């Protein structure tokens, strides 16, 4: 094994691996000059990318990666490239591809080059770049940076056991020194080779934009496969080649890809030698997003599903604001901010390396703040699809609603907008206002709060309200009438006086303000609901 490594090191020197390290940002040893504040210097024109695989429903980890890359590009007036890594035919789906585009467009994350936009470095689908990968692989092989590997996984395991190593120790470099005759013998057996990159026998270090200096000791990363025996290129080849040819100079990605970075650094060094890459990119690895139980948030966890959050009623401003907090902050005392504010202040070098915890309660609270900041008509426009989904209104767009529905929702908006946290909660708040029903069955928690005095309270309220004229059916007048009759004269505490009326009017324990609701639904419906609850006690 040592002899193999010595020969490999000698070969690396012959192909000139270390000759240009000093001019390449992000290679062995010191990779950048630092500014006075200790931060790695960014390129003059930042080019970042987002390159998901279409293998499932978009999840919050994916979106955060897109968000941080987008924010860095917008903050630095750089370029944001969006491409799709769709070379896994067994797992990639058109549905997932469409969902990724839908997610980015819903969130307002736009891109400068890439899918559906075009640009000078296309195509932007990996499935359309096969000839490019094949050409690069052959150049790597011809230059000696890659070599043919005929070992099967069973043979590698057997050699590890025979040499006293764990069975799963990994590839042992066996094929590095095969002679032409040995390779021909394998071909004669009908074997087809994989292509492996020849890793150098030296430490690999780089300055991570988020984590600082990271080192991988010589020999800790084995020679790795870039092309399968059937000719299919692997991520280990396609990703760096695409980055190189698209002139990506800042790579921001998840912590789970950190272990692949030394491989990419080495391949980049070879690509520079071949004239395929211009320079080594800077790397920044964002922290894990943790779910419940301090475990890494899986794409299968419900709180990870982007569209499930949208279904519940998150608005894009609220969700993006919260995702931005998963590793970054605009300031110690400011959790709520707009995307314009994020762009103004974002610097990937300020992202924290510690794992970020996804707290759904905090996410909902931040979403509520953003809902309150919407213009009233914008709030209504966004709420209507949820109201239609829940069979509360007749159409899924504001302009298609009836005049009555628009009138009631206009009146209800200032009562509801400050009380909901998610747009999915609007239906429960306004459903009773839009309904003409004379009786609304109380929800379980609402009925539970009714006390023995509820019948007496409802009877007295009906008596007082029957005498009120339609012209006097206003919020302030109703408040005065019922307060005088039930609290001042009747001696009921406000909770006992108004609780049964609220349950009768809305069917809920929590509802829009009571007297405003009574004004909106009118005298006839209000009295009918009071009598309805009275008859169902």
Q: Please answer whether residues 371 and 421 qualify as being in contact, where contact means their C-beta atoms are separated by less than 8 angstroms.
A: yes
Residue 59, beta-bridge partner list: 305
CA distance 309 to 107: 12
Query: For residue 463, what are the contacts with CB-CB under 8 A and spacing of at least 6?
Result: 485
Q: Please answer whether residues 72 and 348 qualify as being in contact, where contact means their C-beta atoms are separated by less than 8 angstroms.
A: yes
Smallest CA-to-CA distance from 210 within 253, 261, 243 is with 253
CA distance 529 to 232: 69
Residue 347 has a CB neighbour count (10 Å cut-off) of 14
Q: Please answer whether residues 326 and 352 qualify as being in contact, where contact means their C-beta atoms are separated by less than 8 angstroms.
A: no
Smallest CA-to-CA distance from 417 within 512, 498, 510 is with 512
CA distance 194 to 354: 38
CA distance 151 to 431: 68
Q: Which alpha helices (H) appear in 328-374, and where do they start and end?
A: 339-345, 360-373
Q: Residue 92: CA atoms inside 13 Å, Cβ hemisphere, count?
A: 14
Q: Please answer whether residues 195 and 141 qualify as being in contact, where contact means their C-beta atoms are separated by less than 8 angstroms.
A: yes
Q: Which single residue is written with the structure tokens 């309904």? A: 435
Classify residue 166 by burial, with Cβ atoms within 10 Å: 0-12, 13-18, 19+.
exposed
CA distance 36 to 524: 74
Would the CA dihedral through 472, 477, 479, 483 be positive or negative?
negative
Residue 223, token pair as written in the block: 């020679």
CA distance 466 to 483: 15
The interaxial angle of helices 514-521 and 426-434, nearest 10 deg, is 40
Q: Rounded to a whole number, what is the distance in angstroms from the first to the last CA of the chain?
A: 86
Residue 213, beta-bridge partner list: 207
Question: Is 294 annotated among the ligand-binding residues?
Answer: no
Cis peptide before 123 (omega within 30 of 0): yes
Smallest CA-to-CA distance from 456 within 502, 496, 506, 488 is with 496
Smallest CA-to-CA distance from 31 within 283, 351, 352, 350 is with 283
Q: Which residues are annotated as a binding site?
A: 299
Q: Which residues are annotated as a binding site for ATP?
A: 299
């Amino acid at each position: 094994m040592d002899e193999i490594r010595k020969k490999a090191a000698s070969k690396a020197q012959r192909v000139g691996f270390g000759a240009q390290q000093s001019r390449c940002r992000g290679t062995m040893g010191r990779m950048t000059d630092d500014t006075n504040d200790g931060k790695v210097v960014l390129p003059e024109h930042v080019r970042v990318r987002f390159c998901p695989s279409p293998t499932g429903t978009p999840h919050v980890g994916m979106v955060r990666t897109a968000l941080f890359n987008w924010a860095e590009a917008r903050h630095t007036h750089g370029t944001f490239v969006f491409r799709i890594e769709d070379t896994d035919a067994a797992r990639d789906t058109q549905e997932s591809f469409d969902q990724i585009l839908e997610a980015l467009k819903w969130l307002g994350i736009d891109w400068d080059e890439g899918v559906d936009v075009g640009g000078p470095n296309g195509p932007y689908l990996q499935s359309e770049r096969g000839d490019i990968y094949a050409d690069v692989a052959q150049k790597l092989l011809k230059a000696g940076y890659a070599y043919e590997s005929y070992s099967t996984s069973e043979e590698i395991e057997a050699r590890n056991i025979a040499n006293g190593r764990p069975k799963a120790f990994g590839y042992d470099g066996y094929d590095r020194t095969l002679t032409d005759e040995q390779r021909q013998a394998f071909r004669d057996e009908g074997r087809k080779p994989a292509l492996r990159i020849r890793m150098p026998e030296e430490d690999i270090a780089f300055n991570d934009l988020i984590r600082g200096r990271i080192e991988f000791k010589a020999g800790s990363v084995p020679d790795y496969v870039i092309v399968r025996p059937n000719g299919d290129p692997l991520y280990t080849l396609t990703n760096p080649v695409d980055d190189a040819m698209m002139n990506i100079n800042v790579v921001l990605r998840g912590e789970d890809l950190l272990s692949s970075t030394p491989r990419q650094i080495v391949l980049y060094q070879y690509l520079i030698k071949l004239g395929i890459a211009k320079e080594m990119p800077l790397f920044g690895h964002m922290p894990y997003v943790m779910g419940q139980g301090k475990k890494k948030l899986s794409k299968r966890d419900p709180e990870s599903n982007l569209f499930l959050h949208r279904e519940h009623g998150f608005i894009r401003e609220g969700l993006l604001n919260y995702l931005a907090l998963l590793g970054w902050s605009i300031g110690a005392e400011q959790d709520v901010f707009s995307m314009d504010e994020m762009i103004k202040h974002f610097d990937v070098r300020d992202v924290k390396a510690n794992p970020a915890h996804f707290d759904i309660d905090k996410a909902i609270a931040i979403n509520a703040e953003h809902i309150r900041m919407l213009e009233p008509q914008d709030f209504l426009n966004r709420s209507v699809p949820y109201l239609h989904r829940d069979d509360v209104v007749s159409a899924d767009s504001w302009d298609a609603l009836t005049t009555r529905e628009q009138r009631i929702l206009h009146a209800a908006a200032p009562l509801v907008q400050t009380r909901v946290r998610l747009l999915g909660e609007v239906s429960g708040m306004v459903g009773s206002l839009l309904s003409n029903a004379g009786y609304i069955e109380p929800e379980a928690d609402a009925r539970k709060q009714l006390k023995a005095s509820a019948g007496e309270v409802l009877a007295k309220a009906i008596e007082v309200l029957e005498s009120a004229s339609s012209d006097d059916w206003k919020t302030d007048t109703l408040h005065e009438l019922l307060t005088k009759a039930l609290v001042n004269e009747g001696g009921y505490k406000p909770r006992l006086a108004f609780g049964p009326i609220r349950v009768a009017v809305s069917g809920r324990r929590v509802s829009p303000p009571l007297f405003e609701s009574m004004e909106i639904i009118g005298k006839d419906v209000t009295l009918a609901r009071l009598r309805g609850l009275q008859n169902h006690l």
